[in-house]
Chain A
Amino acid sequence: MASQKKVAEASPTAPRPSILPLDAGPVPDLGRDADLKAFRDMLLIRRFEEKAGQLYGMGLIGGFCHLYIGQEAVVVGMQLAMQEGDQVITGYRDHGHMLACGMDPKGVMAELTGRRGGYSKGKGGSMHMFSREKGFFGGHGIVGAQVSLGTGLAFANRYRENGGVCLAYFGDGAANQGQVYESFNMAALWKLPVVYIIENNRYAMGTSVSRATSQPDLSKRGASFNIPGELVDGMDVRAVKAAGDRVLDYCRSGQGPYILEMKTYRYRGHSMSDPAKYRTREEVEKVRVESDPIEQSRARILANGWADEDAFKRMDAEVRKIVNEAAEFATYDPEPDPSELYTDILR
């Protein structure tokens, strides 16, 4: 509490400890409207995930449930840089990506509770959700699988020459899967429009990056395929958006794939049950205090005079209302009809 206040009071011009190993230099401002939108989108994800955690605790959500809390700036910043027709694909830590893609929080939450109004009619659950309409291609439970699939989406874009770019998100742990490198090679060879976004939250379950990878600078993982890469402060939505703008232009212009390593952090356990013995509480607290994406954004907006405390209160109330309605819907919506057991296997 007190510590979070500290962030809010800090001057936005005062140097903030960067999550990057080196200071990446000045970050361009988003401007009033985009900054406010980014704040609200991040807040929606945070509140949604908190609610999902509660519903899990109450037994309304079962199985695995991986929360995105702490990583909100990554997906929100990239979304600001995207164009209509671009595609998104990710792993199982996917609720934030779906909300950022504009999917309905009710449909997402109802999928988490396994109800018929969920995006997959309750048949997919937290890890397996899709929306063709919103360009969201899942939601995949097998670590690394989405990287090849995303490369295929990019292949289709190039094949059709439709100008679309695929944003393929994956974790620092997933970055060790073999199919990632098979995909890198093909994407570079055929100049496919795909941005590989590595969400480096420092851990794959209980394994820190340094214990799992011989080259911890994941942005260099494309080097032997001639894929350029760069490190981005994934806690600062402005830095993400700026990188996204540049890189999406690069990919769209037919120059091939690009890697963005987003330095970020997950505050919660890997999934709902987690022994939490692989890191200290102090480490988590330090990131929350120094780098929280939402608190940074709030402080900046306040200092710029783009919104006052009352406006933030209204935004918070509005976001809570959306989330509460989603939870309400996800609780009372009926389970799928038993006949759905046998539908959608083939068509």
Chain B
Amino acid sequence: MATQILMPALSPTMEKGNLSRWVKNEGDKVKAGDVIAEIETDKATMEVEAIDEGTLGKILVPAGTADVAVNTPIAVIVADGEDAAAAAPNQAASPAQQNKASQSAPPAAPGDAASAVATPKAAPSAVANPPQPAATPVPELAEASAADVEMVTMTVREALRDAMAEEMRRDGDVFVMGEEVAEYQGAYKVTQGLLQEFGARRVVDTPITEHGFAGLGVGAALAGLKPIVEFMTFNFAMQAIDQIINSAAKTLYMSGGQMGCPIVFRGPNGPAARVAAQHSQDYSAWYSHIPGLKVVAPYTAADAKGLLKSAIRDPNPVIFLENEILYGQSFPVPKVDDYLVPIGKARIARPGKDVTLVAWSMGMTYALKAAEALAADGIEAEVIDLRTLRPMDTETIVASVKKTGRCVVVEECWPQSGVAAEIATRIMENAFDWLDAPVARISGRDVPMPYAANLEKLALPSVDEVVQAARAVAYR
């Protein structure tokens, strides 16, 4: 009985990948678990294994084929004694045809791999799919002096890498440290190429000892170096939060201004797809609570670049909250020599007069989509990308609320003592008389992040909720 081997997914969000090479050849005997091919995406490599015993009858997708859709049949395994040629389905389909075929094909059966393909009775709900950034993000030009600055398109990941590389070229005291930042090129590939350019003295792989290397980084900063400490994710910074708060944030004050601590703690923050409670959490509110820290959370690639450069130059400890889901998103970035974005300034991402939406980082994807949906109904939302959580740009928020009289805050963190709670308070303190409705907030649900796809979706904010909240405060 012939068994098809399908193009596997490396991650819940992967849709296609490259078939880099075949480890086995047609006619080779294989056993369940034998590696038969290698596939890769921009982020990772994975081995494809035989799912049953037999002979690799036919290779359907040749090595070197790019953009093979997930679930495309890539090879056929035939049971011993079976005719390989007869077992092969339509030969030599082009990748495009396979792509189409895989879209209409029913999902492959689990259970006995050698049995016929069956459609699962209860298909899993779609992987929680956070909204993608609006198709054309409003170009960020506020910081570029001329409106006709040339723009280049790059991903947030590339922008962060470029920011670090530029600052490391500029200042020999800047170095990067963290788990897998050097030889592995970064767990999320943000430090790609830095080891090659700057060497192991300045791009330092650490053991898995967050509390230790965060403290070491603070010590190095007290001595005048400018460390960039990468946390593989901010979930693991909880191991180190004592050093961040007690040592990095408070030492300047405790020393009467003698001991500055120029350090950046950066890494992905916030919910990621299907990694459950211990790996999926937004720390925006945690760090924004702390005097002595600056806290930055960019959305666009331009802001990621300009703000990270500013953070590295800042003489204070800066918490730089990135987002794994945004790493691969592309945005226009001004092509200027030294692109800096000031810490502490929000950005009007979309002007409007009817309701103010405030968001940052991943929250911006919800806000921008909601604004588009509201525009279709004649409600003009003004979207503020906060960019920095501490010090918070109260002025920009208040000016907008004085214009619109209404405000909805979008955040992925938990509601209690969250950033939205702080924003609502500031609006009340500074623009109470201008408000036409109470400030509304859309937050993550007040629960640890569940693993199950359906529950995860329910635990996160949605565009629809933002739209509903905006309608409610606008009484429309």
Contact = CB atoms under 8 A, between A and B. Distances in A.
Contacts of A22: none
Nearest to B31: A1
B450 to A, nearest CB: 5
Contacts of B29: 1
Interface stretch (B118-126, B245-253, B371-379, B426-434): B118-126
A272 interface: yes
Interface stretch (A25-33, A190-198, A333-341): A333-341
Contacts of B205: 207, 211-212
B110 interface: yes
A140 B276 CA distance: 11
Interface string B12-41: 100000000001000011111110000001
B107 interface: yes
A107 interface: no
Given A62-B127, A274-B45, A206 B276 contact: no
A45 to B, nearest CB: 12
Interface in B219-242: 235-236, 238-239
B46 A50 contact: no
B279 A64 contact: yes
B450 A122 contact: yes
Contact of B208 (A212, A330, A333): A212
B472 interface: no
A14 interface: no
Contact of A125 (B45, B47, B212, B274): B274
B47 A276 contact: yes
A222 interface: no
A122 B208 contact: no
A61 B452 CA distance: 10
A142 B49 contact: no
Nearest to B215: A178
Given A113-B124, A122-B455, A345-B447, A331 B183 contact: no
Nearest to A51: B110
Nearest to A336: B452
A62 B110 CA distance: 15
Contact of A206 (B51, B184, B239, B445): B184
Contacts of A174: 208
A142 B211 CA distance: 13
Contacts of B319: none
A40 B107 CA distance: 31
B8 interface: yes
Given A114-B453, A122-B451, A336-B452, A58 B125 contact: no
Contact of B10 (A141, A177, A272): A272
A159 interface: no
Contacts of A164: none
A308 B23 CA distance: 32
A335 B184 contact: no
B184 A205 contact: yes
B89 interface: no
B6 interface: yes
Nearest to A335: B454
Contact of B450 (A60, A123, A206, A325): A123
B6 A58 contact: yes
Interface string B96-119: 000000000001101111000000
Interface in B49-97: 49, 51, 70-71
A328 interface: yes
Given A125-B276, A128-B278, A330-B110, A59 B49 contact: no
Interface in B230-286: 235-236, 238-239, 272-279
Nearest to B11: A273
Nearest to A178: B211
A120 B448 CA distance: 13
Tell me the dominant secondary structure on chain B's binding face: loop
Contact of B452 (A59, A206, A211, A335): A335
Interface string A69-100: 10000000000000000000000000000000
B459 interface: yes
B209 interface: yes
B450 A341 contact: yes
A331 B124 CA distance: 8
Contact of A60 (B30, B110, B208, B273): B110
Interface in A185-230: 204-207, 211-213
Contacts of B212: 178
Interface in A120-140: 120, 122-128, 140
B124 A128 contact: no
Interface in B405-454: 445-448, 450-454
B207 A176 contact: yes
A206 B184 CA distance: 6
Contact of A63 (B32, B70, B107, B274): B274
Contacts of B28: 1
Contacts of B45: 269, 273-277
Which of A55, A58, A177, A320 has the largest count of B CB atoms less than 10 A from its CB?
Answer: A58
Contacts of B454: 335-336, 338
B121 A273 contact: no
A342 B448 CA distance: 9
B184 A141 contact: no
A278 B11 CA distance: 20
A253 interface: no
B46 A269 contact: yes
Given A60-B110, A114-B124, A272-B11, A338 B51 contact: no
Nearest to A64: B275
B140 interface: no
Nearest to B277: A128
A120 B236 CA distance: 23
B187 interface: yes
A115 interface: yes
A335 B179 CA distance: 35
B71 to A, nearest CB: 7
B184 A341 contact: no
A209 B108 CA distance: 39
A266 interface: no
Given A125-B276, A273-B11, A332-B120, A176 B208 contact: yes
A123 B180 CA distance: 29
B9 interface: yes
Nearest to A173: B208
Given A57-B9, A128-B278, A338 B458 contact: yes
A330 B452 CA distance: 12
A277 B179 CA distance: 16
Contacts of A213: 207
21 contacts: A1-B29, A1-B34, A50-B33, A54-B49, A54-B51, A57-B9, A60-B124, A64-B279, A114-B455, A123-B455, A141-B276, A141-B279, A143-B208, A176-B208, A178-B209, A206-B183, A269-B47, A272-B10, A335-B452, A336-B450, A341-B447
* 9 nearest A-B residue pairs (beta carbon): A57-B8, A125-B451, A62-B274, A273-B44, A63-B274, A114-B452, A141-B278, A122-B452, A176-B207
Given A57-B48, A127-B279, 9 more contacts: A50-B49, A51-B110, A59-B9, A59-B70, A64-B275, A205-B187, A211-B205, A273-B43, A341-B445
